[in-house]
Structure 1
Amino acid sequence: MLTLLTLTCLLVSTQALAAPILILGDSLSASYGIDEDKGWVNLLRAKLPEHEIINGSVSGETTAGGLRRLPALLESGKPKLVLIELGGNDGLRGFTAQQLKENLTKIIILVKETHAKVLLSEVMVPPNYGPRYAQMFADVYNQLAKEHEITLMPFFMKDIAIYPELMQRDRIHPNAQAQMQIADFVQPWVTQILE
């Protein structure tokens, strides 16, 4: 009897911990240029085996594309946490900071309406886009974090992009060697929010 009660408690405890996590990102999260099983999202699954991690990332995705796909992802996955890593392709295509903010705002609102938690990843544009545009771009993420009272995670590429040996030939995407470093960086942010 005691053993059955213990097993039941453990099962309930495990189910309570097993919060689905949705990663809504672009090529940086979609294992672009490397095997999917070597990507940081898959490595994060190994670090958080008690959670179901849904990779809703698509290479080339913009905030507008992520916004279009989000309702179906929320419906099918029922995530308790959504990590938003979008905006890089908006910057590469020269979209305005206002467009970026409007789309990310709609994404955040949709997620919050499901009572899921939001972890917003900062995204930076390459320095050749000019300091003014880069600053306007960065300001959007800080503004959104304050306005919606959500956690802002620093851009995980900041300490990787400066090392050529961690980058693919295009100098935009991290290589396989960098993936564990990204998973190690993201994991405590995810764990902190879920706790």
Structure 2
Amino acid sequence: MQAACLLVFFLIPQAHANPILILGDSLSASYGMEQDKGWVHLLQQQSPEVTIINGSVSGETSAGGLRRLPALLDSTKAKRVFIELGGNDGLRGFSPKQLKNNLTKMILLAKDSGAEVLLSEVMVPPNYGPRYAKQFTQVYQELSSEQGVTLVPFFMTEIAIHPELMQADGIHPNEQAQPQIVSFIRPWLIDTQQPSE
């Protein structure tokens, strides 16, 4: 309920400055901590020249993101969309084909709205098997090439290998990891941001 209220707050129509929409899952939704401790909030604090709208929801799949995206694009008028989805598809063993289909539709919707799209690479744990893991990773590489969108390396790669930066579940980054995520994401999301016309 708290997350839903926060999302509604962010989507109140206002004059956004260079609006950026983050469409992600628990990795971007401040799972396991206060909202103001998460990387999206910290990035906003460091970047007053833009308005960052966090449309992330814990547990979100690519299908769920696809359902919510049209309303988010309409509400935010985002100029840049960062899609960080697929992890929950992988954890549930959904087919890479289904994942690619949903991500493709999201990319096309965002492009049709006039937004620039950045796609976050997502990886699954190695215990899902090398074949599935390879097919899963290839989805993002193929989409970047086929759709001409920027592929942002998975920000968890250098965090997940450090237990002190992870929550007890071994899946989610803890509060101490959030500034590191900001440092990683900022050059991709903010430093290349074009000024509003």
For 2:182 and 2:157, the matched residues in 1 are separated by 14
Q: Which runs of 5+ in 2 are unaligned?
A: 1-14
Q: Quick check: 1:145–1:151 contact (8 Å CA) kept in 2?
A: yes
* TM-score under structure 2 length normalisation: 0.89
**For residues 46 and 18 of structure 2, what CA distance do their matches in structure 1 show?**
14
Q: SS at 1:194's partner residue?
A: coil
Aligned to 1:71: 70
Could you say which residue in structure 2 is the equivalent of 1:140? 139
d(CA) in 1 for partners of 2:111 and 2:192?
14
1:176 alignment counterpart: 175
Output the CA distance in 2 between the equivalents of 1:152 and 1:50: 23
**Structure 2: distance between partners of 1:164 and 1:61:** 24
Give the aligned length.
180
How far has the Cα of 1:193 moved from its partner?
A: 4.0
> 1:119 is paired with a residue of what secondary structure?
strand
Cα drift, residue 47 of structure 1: 1.6
5 Å-filtered alignment, 1:104-143, equals 104-143=103-142
| 1:158 aligned counterpart, secondary structure | coil
Distance 2:17 2:67 in 1: 27
TM-score by length of 1: 0.90
RMSD: 1.2
C-alpha distance in 2 between matches for 1:92 and 1:98: 15
CA contact (8 A) 1:117 1:193 kept: no
Residues 30, 36 of structure 1: alpha-carbon distance in 2 compared, 3 angstrom cutoff: same
Task: Tell me which amino acid in the other structure corresponds to 2:59.
Answer: G
Q: Following TM superposition, where does structure 1 have runs of at least 4 consecutive aligned residues deviating by more than 6 angstroms?
A: none
Higher helix share: 1
Aligned partner letter, 1:38: K
CA distance in 1, matches of 2:173, 2:130: 23
What's the offset of the Cα at 1:192?
4.6
Cα distance between partner residues in 2 of 1:175 and 1:104: 27
